[in-house]
Structure 1
């Protein structure tokens, strides 16, 4: 898949962090969509023409945290790759969908780019 075709949904409630991640992804050639909560992300996914990768924080306000979001996305949209991040929590083994990746904060843009490339390189 060409980078210009890859759509990444960034789900982060901290606006400055979200803006930074979106800027970094855009600089790498990705199309970045944004959501500030799990529920907003689910709405964005339902409305989006396509999303290739979900990039979500664990700790978010509302009734859907990042782990719940990752699992719901995996079940509803199994073709979407998943990257989960956190600077506070570390997910329990087996709590994330199979094939998803976990990145601790602070994460380097190159590590995030590499994880996205791994996901995009997997055959559908």
Structure 2
């Protein structure tokens, strides 16, 4: 049986949505090394499936360019509508933030991003 102290030690859960396996693995390592729990999705459809089945996701960290019917920006907009408490970080190596319309309260970082900046942002958002 968990003790009250165990609850305070519970790590925030971060969902990483990235179709490139190597980049996804690097993001998972970055998130876990910072003390968070990382959950992985290879596309937006899988991310939605995870979000529908888990209530503990605090932050979604997603790439923009992904295969399937929904890119990272559409995913961010969907999350904003369906799960407003979840915080969002979007990244892209193809687009610049001035070229895209970013949904409200979404943080954008161009690739290559600085890991320290992403972790600092997640620490702020996961509080």
What's the TM-score, normalizing by structure 2?
Answer: 0.87
Q: Which residue of 2 aligns with 1:80?
A: 86
- Give per-residue Cα distances to partners, 1:8-56, cap 9 Å, x unaligned: 0000000000001001110110000000001110001111131000000
Q: Which residue of 1 aligns with 2:42?
A: 36
Q: Which residue of 2 aligns with 1:98?
A: 104
Instruction: Describe how 1:1-124 pairs up with structure 2 within 5 A.
Output: 4-91=10-97, 95-121=101-127
Q: Is the 8 A contact 1:3 1:29 kept in 2?
A: no
**Gapped runs of 5+ residues in structure 2?**
1-7
Greater C-alpha Rg: 2
Matched pairs, number: 120
What's the TM-score, normalizing by structure 1?
Answer: 0.89
Q: Comparing 41-50 with 67-76, which one deviates more in the overlay?
A: 41-50
Q: Is the 8 A contact 1:13 1:61 kept in 2?
A: yes
